[in-house]
Every structure is written in C-alpha cells, then in structure tokens.
Structure 1
Amino acid sequence: MDTRRSEQAGGANHVGKAQVGSLAPGRVVGDGRYRLLAQFGVDERGDAHLWRARDGQLKRDVALTLLVGDPADPEAARLARRTLERATHASKFGHGGVARVLDVLALGSGITSSEGLLGVVVAEWTKGSDLVDLVAQRPVAPAAAARMVQALAEAVEQAHQNGLVLGLDHPQRLRLTPNGALKLAFPGPLPESTLRDDVKALGAVLYLLLTGRWALPGGPPAIPAAPMTPQGRVVPPRQLVPTVPADLSSLAVRTIEDGGNGGIRTSAAILRMLEQVAEEEERTQLIKAVGGDPAESEGTVWTTKKPVKDVARRRKLALGVTVLVVATVVILAWGGLMLINVFQGDSKASGPTINVAAPPASSQQNGTQPPASSSAPAPPPTPAVGAPVAPQSAAVYNPEGSGDNTGRAKNAIDGKPETEWRTEKYKQQFPVIKPGVGLVVTFKDPINLSQVKITGGTPGTKVEIRSATGKNPDLADTKVVGNGDLKDGETTIPLAQPTQGEYFIVWITQLGGADGQFMTEIGDLSFLPAG
C-alpha cells in the first residue's frame, strides 16, 4: 500500500485500538478465508474499515467492510448487528450502481471474538478508481458530474422503493467504474442511517464532484470540508467554481440542507431535476456541434485508469471504411466500362448491361430463358445449419451489477417460449445507467455456431451475439460475432461467419419499450451450428 493510500485510509484510524493496528495487508480474516490486500478508507462514524481482499477459496478479489470493535461492549455489538442485518437485506437487491453483497459474517458465524471484529460485509470487487482520486486534481465537469449522480440516484430510488437504505454517505465507499459510472463499492449502512441520509448523500456527492469538497459530517481527512456561511449554511458550489451552472449549484445545496420549504427530500425529485439538466446539456451540445464549437472537453470524465477501448465504435468505423472502399471500386469499375464502351464506338449503349433483378414470372411461364449476362453475380449460397444444440446452462451476464432476474435465466433455454426471462424495468434506456445486460450460455463441448434464433423477444430490442472465453469475462474481452433487432415472433441472427466456442453471450444494447418503461423479454433461445 503506497504512502498516499495509507494517509487517506489510515488517517482516521483510532490509534489506541490494538485490533485496528493489526489490520494490515497480509492478515487473514473470516476463518482464514479472506487475505487483506489494501485499505481504501475508514468510515469513522461506525468504525467501518474498507479493504480490498483476496478470497482464498474462490480465488477472486472482494470488497470487505470490517466492523471493528470490542465484542465485550454490548452497545457496539448491538450496533454492529444492526448494520449486518441491513447488509443481509441488501444482498437481495440487484442494481448496477451497487456492488452485490456476497456474504455477511457475524460473531460466531464466520468470525471469532479473538479477531477484534464485530462483523464483516463481503461484496464483489468494483474495478475502477477511487472517488477521492477522481477529485484530487480538479473538479469534474458539471455535465459529467450530473450524469454520474443521475445513475447513482437511480440506484437509490430503486432501493428506496424496496424499503432499503444503501448508506452511501461517505465518499470512500464509492468508486468510479471504467465506464464512468459511480458505484457503491462497500455496502453496509450505519445502524442509524435513514432514507433521508441517502438523499443528502446524493447532494454531497454532486457537491464533491463540482468542488472537490465534502459537505457532510464524517468525511475522510483526505478531502477538505465544504466552507460554511456565517449563518451556518453550505456555501453554494457556484461561489467556489464560477463555471458551475446555477441549477446544479442550487440542486446540491437544496439536497444537503434540511431546513426550508425549498429543500429536496427524495431521490425521485433529484432524478427529475438531473434529467432536465441532461436535456439542457444535450441541446447545448447540439448547438455547439452545429456551430462548430471546438470545445469538446465539457463532460469529459477524468479517471486514474487508462481509457477503455471502444470496441463497438472501432468496429463501426472499420465497417464504414470497408463499405466506402467497396463503393469506390464499383464506381471506378463502372466508369472504366463506360470509357471502353465509348472508345469501341457503341452509340446505342450508355453503359454496361447489369442484371439487377430476377426475370419476370411471365417469361418463366412461357418457357423462355432470360438472356445470359456475365455481369450478374450469382447470389451467395445460404450457409447450411445443423440441428439446434441445447446449452448446458444459462446465467445473467451483467458486468456492472448482480444481474436482472437471475433466477429466471434458465427459462430462456428450456425450449418453452411461454416461460420467459426478462430484464428489470428501467426508467432510462441503455447505456445511460449501464452499457447493457444479457445472458451467457455454456455448452458442454465447443460448437461451431452459425445462427441464433430468439423466440418471443420484445420488439425494438437490439442485441449482439458475443463469443467469450468464460462465464464471467470483462465485456472488453468478448468479441461481437453477430447482431440484430428483435421483432414479433421469431428473430434469426446470423453470425458474420461460423464461430467456434463454448461460451456465447446474448448481449442487449437497447431495451424494448418506451416512456420510462424500458424492458426486454426473451422467450427462448436456439443455437444452430454450421452444417
């Protein structure tokens, strides 16, 4: 762990607690299963220490929220039990903005009293950057900050509809994913946290992105506190950074502060305002694009990671260049034939004879044969396909969360279109909240896939067929081998060329539906190998 990380994470440690001092990289907790790798923060309010660790049993990295305390202290033990109960309830919640809770350990159930811990919340590890690192050099552009908080607010709204408190009111519990989305990486809400605390946290996160300062109590030493007016109110972000739009500045302050009739108290209200900001930003960017404004940095998200390669964009660019080259060759060939015709003195023809259509039905019925034309290429033969091959298993593939209706994934391969798998309902279309979601299927033996048939799909849905090397790969490590739009009934998606593989992903890049009710259903999937 580097010096800067130690200062950020360890600056808030209670020096007098021996058990805290023993939390160091290399230590093993949780009945010897989790080896601590690096500390990423401390939420002093609940003695919650945030660590990245290695699961020695499943050989994967995880996020640990370690509740430090004296097991002999009944009040501390009671508060820890309350946090663990909330974390257990959150384990049933799936959203791309919240890391999935994998396990909850308590005293006598995965933790011994000698470990100096009152509980452990185990969550999937979130790749990306620290929120503290994100704002360390400079604030985030207002448009990008609004989009990032908007995605996080959608997670809060969905959690609150399910009666869950997320507990994201500490900046070191959040991380920025490689796709530029904020995610609650260390779940485990404090025992006294309320729904209102989650809403205030959204305002504080927006304030932090816009100014680089934290506007709630209990922030980490690595982040300066927001300045206050003589009347005890938070100084608006616009006074600190004049380029911040007035509506965003007002939104942050009105969400954080409790008093007054103008306060914002629900995540739904925040979402409505952020959607208005996003629409205004789109109009502004359109005006800039039409006017040729070279300022393209607005909305850029700075991260400490290398930018992720945009595979889809590169593929589209390559396809466009290929089409342009082919069109150019055809035009040049046609022009050459025109010149040859002119120099041969054929005044009756204005160009080469090109047969672009099948002969009329009447000529076939009269027994006449159409004239032969050497310039009419024969249509390519339709690739032969074999009988469908049933996958061994199907699972929801969602790199940004725990997936949508994971228990129903098997319905898509049971051969019964009436038993479907469906996504969650989203208020916004992909990729605003996340890049997509899909199903990964596994075959017992590799197949040479040629086509995928989708029965009972929601019209308007756009899908990609991707080949993969495992059940849970990074999206960047998968390869697009086919794509198509779903329609009523059955949709056949041919692959560009037969692809050998054991794992394939049906990846949804655009949901069906409209008007804030975006969702896709898939009745059944059939995988046809090359014949």
Structure 2
Amino acid sequence: MTTRRTESLTGQLAHGGGAGEHFLLPGAVIGDGRYRLLAQFGVDERAGAHLWRARDGQLRRDVALTVLVGRSSDAQRAQDARRTLERAAHAARFTHAGMARVLDVLTLGNGVDPNEGLLGIVVADWSTGTDLVDLVAEHPLPAANAARLLEPLAAAVERAHVAGLVLGVDHPQRIRVTPDGALRLAFPGPLPEAVPRDDVKGLGAILYLLLTGRWPLPGGPAAIPGAPISPAGAIVPPEALHNHVPHELSAVAMRSLEDTSIGGIRTSATLLTVLDQAAESAEQTEFMRPVVPGTEDDDGPVWTTRPPVRDKSRRRKLAVGVTVLAIATVGVLAWVGMTLIDFFGDEGGSGGTVVVSASPETGSQTESQPPPAQPAGPLKPAGVTEYNPEGEEDNPEDAGNVTDGDPETLWKTDKYQQQLPALKPGLGVLASFAEPARFTSVAVESPSPGTFVEIRTASSPDPELAETTVVAKGELRGGRTEFELPDDVEPSQYLVVWITKLGEGNQSSIAEVEFIRAK
C-alpha cells in the first residue's frame, strides 16, 4: 500500500531543483563519508531540511539525519542554517523519551563540504516505530488515544522550555510513533526564528491532525489535507468535523493554535495540564458513547497504538487499594469460616476440641525458627547484560565476561570518535540478582585507567537512566578499584556499573566486577 509519506515525498521531490538535492539519494554517502543514506522520511520545505534515515559507518548503527540544503553563497539561507545548527547543538545535552538525542552537528568545513550544496547536518538517534503521517493515513484516532499519544511529546517540550530550549515540533514528518505508543521528535532542528510559543502551536496542530487527519498550520506535507476554514476565516474545530471528538479535547487543540491574546494557551506547562485533564475526560466517556450503525462513528475495526503507561503514583495508589481489598476479603472469609466451624462443632455434641498440629520434626521448627541469614561477602549475580538506554549496544554478547571469574576475558566498549557525553550520556553493564540484597561495596577490575564510573541501583531489569540512583562514583585507577556504598543504601536486586567517561583512546574495558553483600 502506498503511504501518505511516500506520496508526500513524490510530490515534494517533483518540484526538485534545490541545491544539493541531486545527490541526496539512497546509497549516497555524506558527512565526510561517514553516513550512508538509506531512506528519506520527509522534507520540511520551510527550512530546506531533508529528513533521512542513514547508516553510521563508524559506529555501525542507524541514525536520523536532518540535512539542511542550500548554497553557501545565499547569505540569508546560510545564516538561518547556522542558527538552526546552533540550536540543535544546544539541545545535545537534553535527554527525554519524547525526543531523539542529538548525537552530532556537522557544519560547513566541519563534516560538510560546501561544494555539495549542503549547509549542515543534525545527527540524532534513530527512532524505531511508525511515521506520524502513516498513523493517520486511513482515519483519525479515537480521542483518548490521541491525547495519550501526545502527552510524552508535550512533556518533552515542557522540560525543554524549562531548560531554555525550543524543540521545533511544528512539522508532522519530524514526528514518529514509538513501538510503545508515544509520539517522539525524531528529526531535531528548530527553525531559526522559532520561539516556545511555536512549540505549543505545533503540539496543538499535531493533536488536530490526530483527531481529524488534517494539518492546520502552513508548510505541512502536500499529501496531508489542510484544515478547513470557516467563512469567518477561522480554522474549523475538530468537534465540528467529527462528532465523536469531545469538546474538551477539541478546545485544547484550538486554544493551542489561537492567538494568546484572545484566550489561547500560552505555555507548554499549561497545555500539558489541560491535555491531561481532557484525556481523562475522554477516557471516561470513551466506553459510554453509543455507536449508531450506519453513521460516521460506525467505522468498523480501528487500528490504534497502545496508550502510554499512566504515571507511577496512580499505579501505586491502585496497587495499594487492590492490596487492602484483598486483605479485607481474606479476613471476611476467615471470619465466616471460623463461625461455621464453631456452629457445626457445637451442634455435633462431641464436646471436645479437634486440634490439627504439625509434627515436631517439620511444622513446629518451621514456625519457630526464622530463615537462616545470608552470609556476607561476594554475591554472584543471576545474570549480567549490557546497559545502553541512549543508543546502540556495545558488544552485548561479552557482558557476561565481567563476572565469569576470568580476568583475561573482557567486556569492551566501542571506540568512540568523541568523549562522553558528546554522543551519549554513558553506557555500562547491569547485574541482576535472584532477590534484593544490601551491598556494602562494588569492586571493578579494569585495564583502562582514567575511566570514570558510577555505581547505580535500579528497580527493574530494563530501567530508563532517570529511574536509576547513583550510590557511588569515582575513577578507575587500573587494576582493582573498590567503591564503598553508603550504609543507608536500600537493598536492591539490580546494580549498574555506568561509565561516564571513557579511558585512553575513547574506549574502556572491564575485566571483572565483584558485588560485596552486607551481613
């Protein structure tokens, strides 16, 4: 099936003729011969930005390229490109699940040949998943799904604005849908004149697109129909196009697009709050709305992505509530059981009490004696995996070498062209234990002096970096380095040895890691 992305690219490239476009074809190599173009995913004509998936020949991984096309002799175009590249470089230290991490920024004379007709390249992590344009190609999404899809991207925008950054989420082909059902800015590189308010308008436009299948801002892909305009010259609200769209969610989209002087949403923080409230309202009414056969709502099966997991505090409250209910139920059943036993025991006239007890050799010892204490000393993990949440894995098949007892076998990082955190915040190995344990120290044996590491605790075998806690850190001296853990560290089932600075030659190795358990 021909997707809207393919149709859009066909229409955009048919106009052709731009500087540098003649060699931007699959298989071409750009960026000083490092990046081989694989497939094009869009064109943001407002910035002369071509959006490509490419293969990094040095690090052997796929990346997202925002390629700025133009002639260096065009002073205004070159100045705009420099501003976009500067903004992308400032975002390189910003990390959030709602935005692909910027790995590198190539400028004229620094990775970009001016004779190729290019003005710069923004390199970012490749975002797996689906194109946003393809997601709405067949039909708009249910209201609650649309809102939950947008929330992670809105959260990324809000965090970026607090940090003084503008992300540039105002073009649909720059956005992708992750496998776990969330929108992500896959091709960073904001317009040179963009301000935070433009991000808010972009979020409103994306919500409008999800609810209606139409794009309300200028400069969108040719294959996506524009939003209809009323006789008064205003954009028609989503609820007027589709009667299943709740008023609250339609209002969020419209207020994000409107002028702030007449009631529009001004900041991303306000948008995020209002969006969450509207999403909850939509979820509450989603299963209450009747579907009348033969009407617009009767569309048959609707493909939707899985909504993102709700916030942790709500899950904790739900878990506590279920636990309390279970305990209360067991108590009631126990009381009823004892009442029945007493009733039938009295009626039976046996006059005696039947006592069921365990034999002295088994049950009595089990009930009277606590389980044996675990001995202090080294504790071998049940498993070790390579931990690299912000990029491609580095030799994951060798991660188990760090606990195999043989110092001759190593786990090595890849050899990087730049020191951390230029390309990623770090990398390491994660040890999983059979049960939580309290640790006093972690010893790392390494032939890579000058490597800086952190010891982190985690609550799951595949955590986000923000979900881990630093409990010790320092520099590897070469040979064995032991890291003492504070006495107040809680028992943990997962420990991470996290490298924040590579050793000589931008590469590090770890021979053995020993985890010392407390008494």
- Is TM > 0.5 for Structure 1 vs Structure 2? yes
How far did residue 400 of structure 1 move? Answer: 9.9
Q: Please list the CA deviations of residues 386-439 of structure 1 after superposition, one character each: whole Å capped at 9, or x if unmatched.
A: 33689xx999864699xxxxxxxxxxxxxxxxxxxxxxxxxxxxxxxxxxxx99
Residues 257 and 400 of structure 1: CA distance in aligned 2, closer, same or farther (over 3 Å): farther
Q: Is 2:437 aligned against 1:442?
A: no
Match for residue 461 of structure 2 among 436, 441, 466: 466
State the shift of 1:442 in Å: 2.8
- Supply the AA of the counterpart residue of 1:70: R
- Counterpart amino acid of residue 47 in structure 1: G
- Label 1:491 to 1:48 Cα distance change in 2 as closer, same or farther (>3 A): same
* SS of equivalent to 1:51: strand
> Percent identical across equivalent pairs?
50
Q: Is the 8 A contact 1:386 1:528 kept in 2?
A: yes
Deviation at 1:67, TM superposition (A): 0.4
State the alpha-carbon separation in 2 of the partners of residues 31 and 2 from structure 1. 34
| Letter of the 2:54 counterpart | A
Cα-to-partner distance string for 1:107-150 (whole Å, 9 max, x where unaligned): 10001123221100000111111100111111111112122222
1:528 CA displacement: 4.0
Distance 2:159 2:41 in 1: 27
Question: Matched residues in 2 for 1:222 and 1:287: separation?
Answer: 34
* Residue of structure 2 in register with 1:8 after alignment: 8
RMSD between aligned residues = 4.5
State yes or no: 1:280 paired with 2:281.
yes
Map of 1:509 onto structure 2: none
Identify the residue that residue 132 of structure 2 maps to in structure 1.
Answer: 131
- Residue 527 of structure 1: aligned partner: 515
Whether the 8 Å CA contact 1:50–1:186 is kept in 2: the answer is yes
Structure 1 residues 171-194: Cα deviation after superposition (integer angstroms, max 9, x where no partner): 000011111111111000111222
Q: Does 1:302 align with 2:304?
A: yes
Amino acid aligned to 1:38: A
Once structures 1 and 2 are overlaid, which stretch shifts more, 228-237 or 250-259? 250-259
1 CA distance for matches of 2:459 and 2:40?
38
**Counterpart residue type for residue 377 of structure 2:** G
Could you say if the C-alpha distance between residues 270 and 400 of structure 1 is closer, same or farther in structure 2, counting changes exceeding 3 Å? farther
- CA distance in structure 2 between the aligned counterparts of 1:354 and 1:40, rounded to whole angstroms: 71
SS at match of 1:106: strand
What does 1:185-264 align with in structure 2 at a 5 Å threshold?
185-258=186-259, 261-264=262-265
Matching of residue 85 in structure 1 with residue 123 in structure 2: no
- Per the TM alignment, residue 41 of structure 1 is displaced from its structure 2 partner at its CA by 0.4
The Cα offsets for residues 467-523 of structure 1, whole Å up to 9 and x where unpaired, read as 89xx99xxxxxxxxxxxxxxx93422458xxxxxx9789xxxxxxxxxxxxxxxxxx
Code of the aligned partner of 1:237? P
Alignment of 1:108-507 (within 5 A): 108-258=109-259, 261-281=262-282, 302-303=304-305, 348=352, 350-354=354-358, 372-376=360-364, 378=366, 381-387=372-378, 398=389, 441-442=428-429, 451-453=436-438, 464-466=459-461, 489-493=488-492
Aligned equivalents of 1:282, 1:47: Cα separation in 2: 40
**Runs of 5+ consecutive residues of structure 1 not aligned to the other structure:** 289-296, 321-326, 332-337, 356-371, 402-437, 456-461, 473-487, 496-501, 506-524
Q: CA separation of 1:440/1:164 partners in 2, compared to 1, >3 Å: closer, same or farther?
A: closer
The residue identity in structure 1 corresponding to 2:93 is K
Amino acid at match of 2:304: W
Q: Distance in 2 between matches of 1:39 and 1:271?
A: 31
CA contact (8 A) 1:71 1:77 kept: yes
- Three-state SS of the structure 1 residue aligned to 2:156 is helix
The separation in 2 between residues aligned to 1:348 and 1:439, in whole angstroms, is: 71
- State the partner residue of 2:447: none
- Residue type of the alignment partner of 2:204: G
State the 1:211 CA deviation.
Answer: 0.5
The equivalent of 1:363 in structure 2 is none
Per mean C-alpha deviation after superposition, the further-off stretch among 52-61 and 7-16 is 7-16
The answer to whether the 8 A contact 2:438-2:517 is kept is no
1:162 Cα offset (Å) = 1.9
Please name the residue that 1:59 is paired with: 60
Structure 1 residue 222 displacement after superposition: 2.1
Q: Tell me the TM-score normalised to structure 1 length.
A: 0.63
Whole-angstrom CA distance in 2 between matches of 1:465 and 1:137:
38
CA contact (8 A) 2:55 2:61 kept: yes
Distance in 1 (CA, whole Å) between partners of 2:259 and 2:462 is: 51
> Relative to structure 1, is the Cα distance of residues 347 and 52 closer, same or farther in structure 2, using a 3 angstrom cutoff?
farther
Query: Aligned to 1:271, what secondary structure does the other structure show?
Result: helix
* Other-structure match for 1:68: 69
2 CA distance for matches of 1:115 and 1:95? 33
The alignment partner of 1:276 has SS state of helix
TM-superposed deviation, 1:161: 1.8
Cα distance in 2 for partners of 1:257, 1:221 equals: 23
Give the distance between the partners of 1:223 and 1:151, measured in 2 at CA: 23
- Check 1:93–1:36 CA distance in 2 against 1; reply closer, same or farther (3 A cut): same
Shift of 1:59: 0.5
Identify if the C-alpha distance between structure 1 residues 272 and 527 changes in structure 2 by more than 3 Å, giving closer, same or farther.
Answer: same
> Which amino acid in structure 1 is aligned with residue 356 of structure 2?
P
1:284-310 CA deviation, whole Å, 9 max, x = no partner?
57999xxxxxxxx9xx9724xx999xx
1:45 aligned counterpart, secondary structure? coil
**Equivalent residue, structure 2, for 1:408:** none
- Structure 1 counterpart of 2:97, one-letter code: G
TM-score if structure 2 supplies the norm length?
A: 0.64
Opposite residue 302 of structure 1, the aligned amino acid is T
Q: 1:89 to 1:107 in 2, by over 3 A?
A: same
Q: What is the CA deviation profile of residues 203-252 of structure 1, one whole-angstrom value per residue up to 9, with x for unaligned ones?
A: 10110010011000000012111100111110000011101011111221
**Partners of 1:176 and 1:183 within 8 A in 2:** yes
Contact 1:84 1:119 in 2 (8 A): yes
The CA deviation at 1:21 is 2.9
Residue 66 of structure 1 aligns to a residue whose secondary structure is: strand
